[in-house]
Amino acid sequence: MKQTPCFLFVMYGIIKSMAQQYRHSNTSISLVNYHFVWIPRRRRPVLKDMIAERLKELLYEKAKALNIEIIALEIQSDHVHMFVNVLPTIAPFQIMFRLKGYTARILRKEFPQLMRLPSMWTTSYFVSTAGNVSSETIKKYIEAQSKK
């Protein structure tokens, strides 16, 4: 199996090597990476402490169910950055619809203070495609967000 170049990701104080591999299916070979950014409704700084930790768990859980590999994830108090590798059979809007819906439903059930918001997430999001060449750039950008 052909691999793209290795590079290091620093996430939550943990350094891990991530050699991205091409994904193989019966009909295709692909390397599809997306960088997503989304915010809570009214950009309220609600993604802190236990809520942020639970959101992280839920995102990894749902990503696994959707066969999505999370390469980098940074949760700030008022927005989320996520860099993922996906199969070409799932569109970006489907990824956001499923991740936002799943996390909103569970977080609002487990943390009643989130019920004060009309909804957990805004309907909008940012998405950018990224090939192997720009992966390092996006990784550095996401890491820099935690230093601000």
- Tell me the pLDDT tens digit for each residue of 87-111: 999 999 999 999 999 999 999 999 9
| Percent of the chain whose pLDDT exceeds 70 | 83
In whole angstroms, what is the distance from residue 16 CA to residue 116 CA? 38
- Per residue in 33-83, pLDDT (tens digit) is 999 999 999 999 999 999 999 999 999 999 999 999 999 999 999 999 999
CATH 3.30.70.1290 fits 8-145, yes or no: yes
Domain ranges in the chain are 8-145
- Per residue in 13-29, pLDDT (tens digit) is 322 334 567 888 888 88
